[in-house]
Structure 1
Amino acid sequence: MTQPTVLIIDDEPDILELLELTLGRMSLQTRSASTLREAMTLLQSQHFDLCLTDMRLPDGDGMSIVRHIQQHFTSTPVAMITAYGSLDTAINALKAGAFDFLTKPVDLTRLRELVSTALRLNTAQADADPRDRDPILGISPPIERLRNQISKLARSQAPLYISGESGSGKELVARRIHALSPRAEQAFVPVNCGAIPSELMESEFFGHRKGSFSGAVADKPGLFQAANHGTLFLDEVADLPMAMQVKLLRAIQEKAIRAVGSQREEAVDVRLLCATHKDLANEVAQGRFRQDLFYRINVIELQVPPLRARREDLPLLVQSILGRLAERANQPVPEVTEAGMERLLNYRFPGNVRELENALERAFTLCEGQQIDAHDLWLSACPSASQDDAPDFSQIDHLEDYLDNIERQAITQALEETRWNKTAAAKRLGLTFRSLRYRLKKLGLDD
């Protein structure tokens, strides 16, 4: 079997020697260049499985190498070596397509981890599930774009911010990125940041030592330790309290965490993926989310399209969801009538795929025979994409409750479509901000 070959680009002889010796002990072949020109010549003459490049070179900079490899040698991961504390440079390199970065002085343990991960990259994507097992279903242009972006971003170690409305499938996207990454054999650890009590958050994230607080009867590893060498997915990251945001920022920057009650830091190697349905930039502007943390987790943003932007995927999604439900219940898969499918296609789905799953599960349970018709789908008239769908007044027991429900759904839809920006939602609804605030309080939506 051919030994992997690594291209090392640095004009400091001591750094070159250190990297060559370390990689040689890992049974890797190396070629070295001290200038941009030499590196370009070597890249044209042979294939490399990995490139390590310094940022500053006598005749240029490492960013030129990153861009050149991204354009001409897409299967070769490239890692940037930067001066200690040059986080801006490292982040720019990640945005340009670098696989990862190292800081000087080079930590040899971190170097070996980076190299091992990078060399697993092509193998991981070659062994990944084929298209027919891709959990992200759809043939629409937005989904094809998302699928292509996922494939590219799985090759990076850059922190990734996944944005999208509630129920659109952000965790599914995060899991797919992990499955296509060189970390696929390691743990994927999903965390709902809004579900952890603030007083337990530090212990949950970083672990604790026995006796560090009342009830700590044994050492307990945290979520970062559980995700070590794998992927940590922080869902609803905007819900983190400010004190925890500070600790998370330090963990990301130092690639190390300190357990509650411990006197020393512990190195962790984690790919961080974050998501929220809120507008993080607006949260920063409102002072509820730290700008420096936003800058670190939003190195690359990946937008998940809402279901209403990919209506042509509905038949495929419906078939898949009903298939799962039928298999679970050990029953035949019901057929959706033409009227039922039309009802689905004309609905806006403010709750996205999650709402579709809930609607189909209700219909599957309550429908008679092996057909799901329009009347089996309990979908609100308010968020419909079609003006032809009139409400069924025979189902109204109390007019005030019915109108409140319509108003609640309209306001919730406007808030979700504006990423919970109340000013923008009020404008979309043709209300003043004060009027919207009054309605939110009246309907119990002002939490």
Structure 2
Amino acid sequence: MTPPRRILIVDDDRTFRLSTGELLRQDGHEVEMAADAAEAVATLDQARYDLVLLDMRMPGMDGLTAVEVLRKRGLGTPILMISGFGTIDTAVESLHRGADHFLSKPVDPDLLSARVAELLERRPAEERVREGALGSMVGHSSAMREVFEAVRQVAPTETTVLVQGETGTGKELLARAVHDLSDRAGGPFVPVNCAGLAEGVLESELFGHVRGAFTGAVADREGLFAAARGGTLFLDEVGDVSLALQQRLLRVLQEREVTPVGSSRARKVDVRVVAATHRDLRDEVARGRFREDLYYRLDIFRIDVPPLRARRADIPLLVEAALVRLRERSPRDPPSAVSPLAMRLLRAHDWPGNVRELFAVLESAAIRARGLRIEGQHLPAAIRDPGGEGGDGGRESRYQASSDADERAAILAALDEAAGSRSRAAELLGMSRTTLWRRMRDFGIGEE
């Protein structure tokens, strides 16, 4: 049985508070009340609620200001704004400030009950992210579900894993998930970027060295294979390792022992290897740049991580995950949400830098948004206007490729964000005013 949901009603009108409270109690909710916004802010600092009903016009701090204050403090609770002076402009303004929905007084009881039920069904972003995550990886698309299932299958084994995927897809996060779900989770997880070190340095880092092995080797030093004993060694960008060093890696995988640089005595190692690369190793083998025997030692169980453009359905969940992390890192000025138009632009981008690029874009946009909702205007120009200067031909084709329902929703969201200004809406959408007017006519927008 679902527990009662806690609702805070904030209104200076005592009659409205009491009548609305009684209605919501009849619907099975727990209700508390505040007579002004300052009291509500103080209450929400101390207690958790599932929904806030907030009047727009009150003495002292008004509802619009209260929404901004609450969102800047990191409150993710849904907010239903209610006003006796409802207009389209005030509704749009309240949504821009961070409210989730707007109703005008007098409120129809059935409509209020329905809206409250709808908002209460929206689970906190943290819960949605946790449900769509494996370790620190996030996704609920079919492609990522296959990746998660592969991780769960191979993690309990001792099998060497090869992870292939473009730069920025989260290959190290996947390797950590394999480690964390394995019997070696209590041991160390040791990552090394094979592409970031010169050959001689990488050899010493991996296998260790003895005193006097080379200039500057003033003492014995164990390598990363030894440091990862009982745990997992993650060889990132293994496709960039030189052919000479590949031979030594092959011996370690075959014999489970390492020989430090400058030594003739091999030492046993108890370590699991997870390797990753952005290269197609089969192609590298064909070109003579990667040893075939090492490839087959690494490619016992391969997991291919799809690029972000191949799993666009995951972008909203990834956005929520990024905002959750930003709120944890910047509690004083957290971003509250992403507007429908901004989300559409994010989903339309090809993301050559994959998830890493997406998170960087959102961090930058959050700074520009100053703790409020991230709008289309806060995104980089390359995402707002992928066609660049010189007409709207390329931009228009992007809209033609999407569904009519998505395009109509994007146009309505842009008009809301632009407070009805068609020129501003066209700019946000990345199309000319003529194209916007024609598409509005096609969809019957403006006739309602």
- The two structures have a TM-score, normalised by structure 2, of 0.56
Write the distance in 2 (CA, Å) between the matches of 1:207 and 1:247: 13
Aligned partners of 2:214 and 2:201: how far apart in 1? 11
Structure-1 separation of matches of 2:133 and 2:237? 30
Contact 2:369–2:378 (8 Å) recurs in 1: yes
Q: Is the 8 A contact 1:151 1:180 kept in 2?
A: yes
Deviation at 1:192, TM superposition (A): 0.6
Give the corresponding residue for 1:215: 216
Q: Is the 8 A contact 1:139 1:313 kept in 2?
A: yes
Q: Which has the larger radius of gyration?
A: 2
Structure 1 CA distance, aligned partners of 2:175 and 2:247? 24
Where do residues 95-244 of structure 1 align in structure 2 (5 Å cutoff)? 134-244=135-245
The worse-fitting range, judged by mean Cα deviation, of 327-336 and 188-197 is 327-336
How many residues are matched? Answer: 261
Q: 1:270-328, CA deviations, whole angstroms, 9 ceiling, x for partnerless residues?
A: 11111111111111111111111111111111111111222221111111112212221
Post-superposition shift, 1:250?
A: 0.7
Considering only aligned residues, what root-mean-square deviation do their CA atoms show, in Å? 2.1
Deviations 1:182-236 (A, max 9, x none): 0000011111100111122221111011122211111111010011121111111
CA distance in 2, matches of 1:380, 1:333: 21
Which residue of structure 2 aligns with residue 123 of structure 1?
Answer: none
Would you say 1:376 and 2:378 are equivalent positions?
yes
Amino acid at match of 1:276: T
Following the alignment from structure 1 to structure 2, what is the Cα–Cα distance between the partners of residues 334 and 371?
A: 5
Residue 309 to residue 180, structure 1, CA distance change in 2 (3 Å): same
| Conserved? CA contact 2:132–2:138, under 8 Å | no
- Unaligned runs of 5+ residues in structure 1 are 1-128, 395-447
Question: The residue matched to 1:302 in structure 2 has which SS?
Answer: strand
The AA in structure 2 aligned to 1:263 is S
Checking the alignment, whether the CA contact within 8 Å between 2:156 and 2:183 is kept in structure 1 is yes
Could you tell me how far 1:380 is from its partner in structure 2? 2.4
Say whether residues 1:391 and 2:388 are aligned partners: yes
**Could you tell me which residue of structure 1 aligns to residue 316 of structure 2?**
315
Distance 1:168 1:296, change over 3 A: same
**1:368, CA displacement in angstroms?**
4.5
Q: CA deviation at 1:358?
A: 1.0
2-structure distance, mates of 1:348, 1:226: 39
Corresponding residue for residue 354 of structure 1: 356
State the alpha-carbon separation in 2 of the partners of residues 148 and 206 from structure 1. 33
Q: Which runs of 4+ in 1 moved over 3 A?
A: 129-134
For 1:315 and 1:190, the matched residues in 2 are separated by: 29
Question: Partner letter of residue 153 of structure 1?
Answer: V
Aligned partners of 1:278 and 1:261: how far apart in 2? Answer: 32
SS at match of 1:334: coil
Cα 1:131/1:329, change in 2 over 3 Å: closer
- Amino acid paired to 2:295: F
CA deviation digits over 1:330-387, x for unaligned, max 9?
Answer: 2233321111001001111111100101111111122255021112111526xx9xxx
Distance 1:189 1:257 in 2: 16
Taking every aligned residue pair, what percent have the same amino acid on both sides? 45
Which structure exhibits the higher relative contact order, with contacts defined as CA atoms closer than 8 Å and separated by 6 or more residues? 2
Q: 2:347 aligns with which of 345, 348, 370?
A: 345
* Aligned residue in 2 for 1:303: 304
Q: Matches of residues 52-71 of structure 1 in structure 2 within 5 Å?
A: none
Q: TM-score, normalised by structure 1?
A: 0.56
| 1:371 counterpart SS class | coil
Secondary structure at the aligned position of 2:138 is classed as coil
Which whole-Å CA distance do the structure 2 matches of 1:291 and 1:258 have between them? 22
Assess if the C-alpha contact under 8 Å between 2:335 and 2:373 holds in 1.
no
Tell me if structure 1 keeps the 8 A contact 2:230–2:271: yes
SS in 2 for 1:380: helix
